Amino acid sequence: MKYFAWVRERIGRAEEEIELPADVGTAGELIVWLKGRGEEYAHALERDRFIRVALDQRHVRHDAPLSGAREVALFPPMTGG
């Protein structure tokens, strides 16, 4: 997992390795599961529909399956340019 911007700050780390339970199949299910891991995750991901997800450095929707992804990133809406 990788986290960026205020998602990274609220969770308190930039990256970590996570073993996913078998019943977490999609990006959206991953966010819901992470929220149950502790207050910092619940705080970072509370507005979960605003959280953006990338699988192996490509944007995906929350209904995207996680299967096969090596790198999952969660971050706020982007503000570059």
Residues interacting with other proteins, by CB under 8 A? 2, 4-6, 54, 57-59, 73, 75-81
Q: How far is the CB of 26 from other proteins (least distance, A)?
A: 20
DSSP the chain: -EE-HHHHHHHT-SB---PPPTT--BHHHHHHHHHTT-HHHHHHTSSGGG-EEEETTEEE-TTSB-TT-S-EEEEPPP---
Complex with other proteins: residue 5 or 32, whichever CB lies closer: 5
Q: How far is the CB of 65 from other proteins (least distance, A)?
A: 19
Q: How far is the CB of 22 from other proteins (least distance, A)?
A: 27
